[in-house]
Chains A and B, each alone.
Chain A
Amino acid sequence: MKKRSIGQFLSESREASLVIVLAVLLIVVGIINPSFLSFTNIRQIFLNNTLTFLMALGMLCVMLTAGIDISITSTLAFAGMSIGLLQKYNVIHNTFLLFVIGAGIGIICGFLNGIIIAKGHVAPIICTMGFMYIWRGMAYVISNNNWASGMDVAGFSDFGKDGAVGPYIILIVAYAAFFILMKWTRFGRRIYAVGSNTEAARVSGINVDRTLTGVYTIMGLLAGLAGVLSVSIYASAQPNMQYGKEMDVIAACVIGGVAMSGGRGSVAGTFLGALIIGIISKALPMVNIPNFWQNLIKGVIILAVVILNVVTQRTMDRQNLLRREM
C-alpha cells in the first residue's frame, strides 16, 4: 500500500483542514495570552456563541437546498421580545412553557418562509428579506417602546447564567439530533438530494416542496429557540436584539465548508465553522488588538479560511477525477 503524504490526507477531508486552522488559531492566541486556554474561557466561548452555534444548524439545512435565510435574527427578536413581554407583564414565568412558546413562534415564522419559497417559487433571499423586515417590525410593534430586562426576567435568566448547564445541554442535544438527522434519516438524505440536483430529486419521487418547507420550518424553530436563549443569557429583551448577527451564522456555515450552491456541507463542518467564529470574537479582545482593527481582522480570517476551503475542495475534486480515470 502506498504511503499517503500529509498533503494528500488533508486534501481528502475538508474537516481536517478546519481542525488545522482551529489548532493554529488556538496555539497563536494561547501563546500571546495563556489564560485563553483556561476551562472558564473555553466554556464562555460556547456560552457567548450559543445562538450562532444553534442557528448555524438550521442555516446548514437551508444552504444545503441552495437557499438562504436572512430573516433569522428578526424571528429571534420577535420570539425573544414576545417571551420577554410575557414575563414583564407577569403572564407566564414558567421556563419550560416560555421555551415552548418561543419555539412555536419560530415554527410559524419559518413555516411561512418555507411555504412561500416552495409553493410560490419566490427566491429565498427575497422572501426572507421580506420577513426580515416584517418580524423585526413586529418586535418593535409588540414592544411598544419597552424593554424587558433585569428584574422582569429574573428567575428565567438563571437558565442561561454563566455557570448554568442549560445552554450547553441544548447545544449538545441539538448537535447530536442533527448529526443523526442529516446522516441516517430519509429526511436528511432528501435535503442533500434536493440541493444537489432539484430536478433529479423531483424525478426520483422526492416531494421537493415538502422538503423545502420542512427545512425553513426547522430554521424558524431554531431561531425561535435562539430568541428565548438570548433573553435568558443576556437577561434582556430589546426589539433590536442580535441585529445583523445573521451574518455570523452564515459565515460560520461558509467557513465550515457549506456550499452556497447547495448539496455540500456537514454537521461537523458547521460545528467547526461556528467554533472558529466564536474563537475569533472571544480572542481578538484578549490578544490586545486595538478595537479599530478587530472587525478588519475578523474579515481577513473569514476570507482566508474560505479561500483555503475552496483550494482544498478543488484538489479533492481533481483527485477524485484522477481516480475515476484510472
Chain B
Amino acid sequence: MKKKVLSVLLATTVVASLLAGCGSSAAAPAADAAPAADAAPAADAAAPAASSGGATYALVTKSAGNPFMERMASGFQEAVEASGGTVVIQNPEAATPDAQISVVQSLISQGVSSIAVDGNDANALTAVLTEASNAGIKVLSLDSDVAPDTRAVYCNQAGVQQIGETLMEAVYDLTGGEGDWAILSATSQATNQNAWIDAMKKLMESDSKYAKLNLVEVAYGDDEPQKSTDQTQALLQNYPDLKVICAPTTVGIAAAAKVLQDQKSSVKLTGLGLPSEMAEYIGDDDAHSCPYMYLWNPIDLGRLAGYTSIALVDGSITGAAGDKFTAGELGDYTIEEIDGSTQIILGPPFKFDPSNIDEWKSVY
C-alpha cells in the first residue's frame, strides 16, 4: 500500500516537473500562433494586393538557443513591425531539416503571408516549401539558402566571392605575403564553409599575388569546442612553421583563439566570429591571438529579410533578377542573378578590430 502511494506520488512529480519544464517554452509559440491564425483569414479576404497592414510574416530560424539567430529574428521583427505587419518567429528545437519541416507545415495551416527560412539543409525542405508556394505563401530564404526553385529570392549575408576575397586578403596581410597557413572549418559537409573555402582555394590558384602562400591543411572541428581544440593543437604540432589559422566558423574561431592565446603561440588567427565570443582574444599585441576578424550584422540581415518579405507580399518585387526595392534604413537593393539563382546581397563582411570590438561585444 505504502509503495503504491509512493509510486503514484513519484509519477505525479515527474509529470508536474515535465509540465513546468514545457510550460514556459510551449506558451511562447502558442501566443505567437494565436494572432497569426486570426490575421490569416483577414489577409486572404483583403486580396493579394493588401498592404503590409494586415499581413503576417513568418521567420523560421535554424534553431533555438543561438544568439546569432536571436539577433537576426529581432531585426526581422523590427522591420516588419515598423511597417505595421504581424510577425511570427519560429525557432525549431534542433538544427535539423525535419524540425523545420514540421514548423513550416504548421505555418502553412495558419495561413501566413510569407515565410522566410534559414535552411538547415539545401534540399530536404523542397517538398514542404513547394507546398507553401502552392498555397499562395511567398517563400524566401536568408543566411543559409534552400533549393533555388523553391523560393523567390535568397537574402545572402555576403557573396561567396566577397567572403573568399576578404579572408584571403586577411591571410595575406597577417602572413606578410608568404608562408604556411591552415583552415579550421566546421563540418566537412557544411555548405557555406565549403563554398568559402573553395573560393579561397580558387583565388590562390588564379592570383599570382598569393603564390607564396601555402595552405597546409583544412581541418574540421565539427563546430564542437572539444574537437576544434584537438584539431587546433594538432595543427600547431604538425606544422611548426604555421603562421596563420583562418577559421570561417564562430565555434571554431573561438576554440582556436583560446588555444593560441593560452599557449602564447605566435600563430595568428582570423576568420568569421561573433564579437561577444571573441572580444577576449582580439588585440594588436602579442598577448592577443586574433588581430581582426569578420562577420556580417545579423540584425541587418534580419531587417533585410523583413523588408524583402514585405516587398514580395505587396507585389512590388517578384523575386526576378533586376527587381529593385528600398529596404528602409538599409537603403536600395537590387536582386542579382548569381550562379543561376536570384539573390540579394547584404553587403561586404564587417571588420571587427581592436578599435570597434568594445562597442560591438555587447550587441551580439
Stretch in contact with the other chain, from B77-85, B145-153, B278-286, B347-355: B278-286
Q: Evaluate contact between A145 and B262: CB separation under 8 angstroms.
A: no
Q: How far apart are the CA atoms of A33 and B229 in the complex, in Å?
A: 19
Contacts of A264 in B (CB 8 A): none
Return the contact of A281 from the options B18, B93, B227 (Cβ within 8 A): B227
A281–chain B nearest beta-carbon distance, Å:
6
Contacts of A236 in B (CB 8 A): 225, 254, 277
B363 contacts chain A at the CB level, 8 A cutoff: no
B155–chain A nearest beta-carbon distance, Å:
21
Q: How far apart are the CA atoms of A38 and B24 in the complex, in Å?
A: 51
Q: How many inter-chain contacts with C-beta < 8 Å in the A-B complex?
A: 115
A96–chain B nearest beta-carbon distance, Å:
22
Q: Evaluate contact between B10 and A115: CB separation under 8 angstroms.
A: yes
Q: How far apart are the CA atoms of A263 and B238 in the complex, in Å?
A: 43
A234 contacts chain B at the CB level, 8 A cutoff: yes
Look across to chain B and name the residue whose beta carbon is closest to the beta carbon of A241: B225
**Which residues in window 219-238 of A have CB below 8 A to B?**
234-236, 238
Q: Evaluate contact between B258 and A235: CB separation under 8 angstroms.
A: yes
Q: Evaluate contact between A137 and B25: CB separation under 8 angstroms.
A: yes
Q: How far apart are the CA atoms of A120 and B25 in the complex, in Å?
A: 28
Q: Evaluate contact between B262 and A163: CB separation under 8 angstroms.
A: yes
A151 contacts chain B at the CB level, 8 A cutoff: yes
Known A-B contacts A140-B65, A145-B69, A162-B262; the reply to A291 vs B220 at CB < 8 A is yes
Nearest 10 CB-CB pairings of A with B: A162-B262, A145-B70, A285-B234, A150-B280, A234-B225, A239-B65, A149-B277, A291-B220, A140-B65, A120-B10
Q: Evaluate contact between B65 and A234: CB separation under 8 angstroms.
A: no
**Which residues in window 1-44 of B have CB below 8 A to A?**
6-7, 10-11, 14, 17-18, 21-22, 24-25
B231 contacts chain A at the CB level, 8 A cutoff: yes
Q: How far apart are the CA atoms of A38 and B236 in the complex, in Å?
A: 13
Q: Evaluate contact between A141 and B24: CB separation under 8 angstroms.
A: yes
Q: Evaluate contact between A151 and B230: CB separation under 8 angstroms.
A: no
Look across to chain B and name the residue whose beta carbon is closest to the beta carbon of A282: B230
Q: Evaluate contact between B280 and A151: CB separation under 8 angstroms.
A: yes
Contacts of B281 in A (CB 8 A): 150
B206 contacts chain A at the CB level, 8 A cutoff: no
A313 contacts chain B at the CB level, 8 A cutoff: no
For the complex with contacts A143-B65, A149-B254, 10 further pairs of A-B residues with Cβ separation under 8 Å are: A33-B238, A36-B237, A48-B229, A119-B10, A120-B11, A139-B65, A145-B70, A151-B361, A281-B227, A291-B188
Interface of A is mostly: helix
Q: How far apart are the CA atoms of A48 and B259 in the complex, in Å?
A: 11
A242 contacts chain B at the CB level, 8 A cutoff: yes
What are the interface flags for A232-260 relative to B under an 8 Å C-beta threshold, 1 for contact and 0 otherwise?
A: 00111011111001000000000000000
Contacts of B233 in A (CB 8 A): 41, 44, 48, 282
- Give 29 A-B contacts (CB < 8 Å), ordered by A residue: A35-B237, A38-B237, A41-B233, A41-B237, A44-B233, A48-B226, A51-B226, A130-B18, A134-B17, A134-B21, A137-B22, A140-B25, A141-B21, A145-B69, A145-B70, A147-B276, A149-B277, A150-B254, A150-B277, A150-B279, A150-B361, A162-B262, A234-B226, A234-B258, A281-B230, A282-B230, A285-B231, A288-B238, A291-B188
Q: Evaluate contact between A138 and B255: CB separation under 8 angstroms.
A: no
A201 contacts chain B at the CB level, 8 A cutoff: no
Q: How far apart are the CA atoms of A7 and B6 in the complex, in Å?
A: 53
Contacts of A138 in B (CB 8 A): 21
Look across to chain B and name the residue whose beta carbon is closest to the beta carbon of A245: B226
Look across to chain A and name the residue whose beta carbon is closest to the beta carbon of B91: A145
A188–chain B nearest beta-carbon distance, Å:
28
Known A-B contacts A143-B65, A146-B67, A150-B278; the reply to A234 vs B229 at CB < 8 A is yes
Q: Evaluate contact between B66 and A285: CB separation under 8 angstroms.
A: no
A104–chain B nearest beta-carbon distance, Å:
18
